[in-house]
Amino acid sequence: MYTVTSLKAELHERGWRLTPQRETILQIFQNLPTGEHLSAEDLHVLLQQDGDPISLSTIYRNLKMMSRMGILRELELAEGHKHYEINQPAPYHHHHLICVRCNKTTEFKNDSILKMGAKTAQKEGYHLLDCQLTIHAICPSCQRSILPM
Amino acid sequence: MYTVTSLKAELHERGWRLTPQRETILQIFQNLPTGEHLSAEDLHVLLQQDGDPISLSTIYRNLKMMSRMGILRELELAEGHKHYEINQPAPYHHHHLICVRCNKTTEFKNDSILKMGAKTAQKEGYHLLDCQLTIHAICPSCQRSILPM
DNA sequence: TTAAGTGCAAAAACTTTGCATATTT
DNA sequence: AAATATGCAAAGTTTTTGCACTTAA
């Protein structure tokens, strides 16, 4: 799990810097309840409400950077834009089941999937950052509904 | 695997229609080599080149519809927009390994993942449409490179 | 001190929508 | 004939970028 100190060290390794904005963003995600995820816009609004605003462009730049470092996971759920959450190892690591009709999103755990993903990455010589199984399906309630699509 | 006939039947079931545009789009994806995927824009250009143009809005509407029917898979690769491919069962079913630095995308197969996904969906009473494991990682060549990010 | 990062505003990229017309059933 | 689908143009959403200024190291 990332701490401000380990983030700082890893940034310095690459010639980058620890800014108050990066520290704030890391803390927000670390304190987010498991299973919650934020979009760039969500984070922007949240920070404004907290009286600690960060510009949207900085948010976008840092969300991308932290995903590419493996600190955050970039989730493509059903809302039409990306969501982010902290990237945790087993046993906190999880996957998503999404209803394509009502967009209901459920988490589920399955540690053998992470193991398989790690094995696949290793076999190809890749350095693993994240591994997520996304299931698109129709939930029980939408199966019963007679609404179109 | 979908044929024009089965597509027609399934559309009719829901009060929808088989149009030449839908038939064309289905055929394009059926004839696409395994592992190739198209964005809405790719498909638009391809159809224009073939002298059989379809408007972008119709393309967007039908890609979404066919994904929600389980005919196509919606892929979130590294390009910043969705790509689509035909949704095939095992043993053609596959997953994606993506380098977050150079965006190189590799397919891999693992039928037990599809089985696990199916089991998860079933356990929750969901009707499965698609199930994809996406691995974000850094490829061997980018690990060696000294370029930033 | 100097290279990296931020904020702002503008632009770019992608996707959806309203509406008149055309088409499937 | 009636309802769905298409094409066009316009609008909406999300994300990126250029640049002057600021700041971490």
Looking only at the bridges linking them, the beta strands covering B83-86 and A95-99 are unpaired
Burial class, B102, CB count within 10 angstroms (exposed 0-12 / middle 13-18 / buried 19+): middle
Q: What domains lie within chain A, and their CATH numbers? A: 1-88 (1.10.10.10), 90-149 (3.30.1490.190)
Mean pLDDT for the stretch of residues B18-33: 97
Closest-approach residue (CA) in chain A for B10:
A149
**Chain A residues near residue B139 by CB distance under 8 angstroms:** 124-126
Closest C1' nucleotide to A53's CA: C7
Decide: residue B57, CB within 10 A, 0-12 exposed, 13-18 middle, 19+ buried: exposed
Phi-psi region of B147 (alpha: psi -120 to 50; beta: other; left: phi over 0): beta
Inter-chain residue contact A68 with B106, CB threshold 8 Å = no
Whether the per-residue pLDDT at B149 is higher than 60: the answer is no
Least confident of A11-15, A77-81, B65-69, B119-123: A77-81
Q: How far is the CA of B47 from the C1' of D6 (A)?
A: 15
pLDDT in tens, A128-137: 999 999 999 9
Place of tokens 């910043």: B80
Interface of B with A in 77-116 (CB under 8 A): 97, 99-101, 106, 108, 110, 112-113, 116
The pLDDT value recorded for residue B146 is 65
Q: How far apart are the first and last CA of chain A?
A: 41
- Do A136 and B131 meet the contact criterion of CB atoms below 8 Å apart? yes
Summarised one tens digit per residue, pLDDT across range A19-61 is 999 999 999 999 999 889 999 999 999 999 999 999 999 999 9
Residue A121 has pLDDT above 70, yes or no: yes
Q: Which among B68, B135, B148 has CB closest to A121?
A: B135
Write out the two tokens for B129.
């449409």
Distance CA A119, CA A131 (A): 11
